[in-house]
Structure formats: C-alpha cells, structure tokens
Amino acid sequence: MSIDVTIANWMLAHRSPSIDWVCQALMSIGTSRRAFAVCAVLVVVLCLVLRRLDTVVAGALAVPAATAASILLKAQLARPRPGPRYAEMATYGYSMPSSAAALLTAGLIVLLLLVPRRRALWKVAVIGFAVVEVVIGFALIYLGAHWFTDVCAGILLGGLFGGAAYLVTTRLRAKRATTAI
C-alpha cells in the first residue's frame, strides 16, 4: 500500500464533524477569488506602506509562475484525484501537484521579504508560515482533494519559485545597498 493510500485511509478513519467543518471553512476561504483578491490587496498595501515595491514584484512573478507551473505539470502528469471514497468535497481536474500548495508556498516565502532580519522575529515568521502550510496541507488531504504526495510536490514547486524570487530580491537589495554607499 502506498503512503498516499495509507495516509488517506488514516484520515478517513479519523474524520469528525468538527474537523470537517474547520477544513471545509479553510477550503472555502482558500478557493474564494474574493478572499484571494482581498489578501493580495492587503499585501500590496503593506508593501507600499513599508516601501517594499520589490516584494510586490517578487510576489507578482512567483505566485502566478508557481500556479501556472503546477497547472502545466498537472496536465502532463494527469494523476487522478482521490476517489469518492475519500472526497469530502467536490473537486475537478488532475491532482499532482497541488496548485493550492504551490501558490501558498510561493506566497509565504515572498512574504518573508517583509520580515525584518532580526533572529527572533525571523524564527517566529518562519514557524508561523510553516504552521499555516501544514494546516492547509492537512485540510487538502483530509478533505480528499489531494493525495499526500500531491501536496508535497506543490510545496516543493512553490518553494522553487518563491525561493528563487526571494533570492533574487535579497541579492538586488544587497546590490542596491552597496551601490548607494
């Protein structure tokens, strides 16, 4: 039995109405275009207030690129989603990699550009973002929208694009800082 089926069976055996409700609420928010637009506007406003336009550009490149790459990979891999036995909600399209996990990971990594590089604050941000990632990944698997490995692949893909945007942006900041002296 694969790790995906083992985890899906465990989730199925441990379903509860309260966890169902929380996971479905998270998915409703996460798949809402309105919620996505509100979050995007809030991040842009925060970036403008902090005068971090480079973070807006990094996010505007990394998040859609990670999402597009996941959609292209889904078409190539054509992996079916978990079947009706596991599905707690209606899903469509292919499963691998998780576009939601890719988008979220890329976005969270880019948001780290807004966190001051003070050690304690940085740790809190990284741990907080990791908790968000785990909770959303759990919800995707729990509701039967994705297999475990789909979520892992989405996180890796989002990490690739978010990490690249983070590295390029921090290098450009360092270069601007040295040329400004």
State how far the Cα of 31 lies from the Cα of 139, in Å rounded to an integer: 12
pLDDT tens digits for range 68-97: 999 999 999 999 989 888 887 777 788 899
Confidence of residue 175 (pLDDT cuts 50, 70, 90): confident
Residue 117 DSSP label: -
Please state the rounded mean pLDDT for residues 43-67: 84
**From its phi and psi, is residue 176 left (phi > 0), alpha (psi between -120 and 50) or beta?**
alpha
At how many degrees (to 10) do helices 119-142 and 3-13 cross? 80
Quick check: 36 pLDDT over 80?
no
pLDDT tens digits for range 110-142: 888 888 878 888 889 889 889 989 999 999 999
Quick check: 152 pLDDT over 80?
yes
State how far the Cα of 101 lies from the Cα of 31, in Å rounded to an integer: 12
Residue from 141, 159, 160, 158 nearest 149 by CA: 141
Q: How many domains does the chain have?
A: 1
With a CB cutoff of 8 Å and minimum separation 6, the contacts of 134 are: none
* Residue 118 lies in domain: 3-179
Please state the rounded mean pLDDT for residues 8-30: 88
CA 54 to chain CA mean position, Å? 20
Residue 162 pLDDT: 92
Q: Model pTM? A: 0.86
CA 51 to chain CA mean position, Å? 24
Quick check: 1 pLDDT over 70?
no
Confidence of residue 180 (pLDDT cuts 50, 70, 90): low
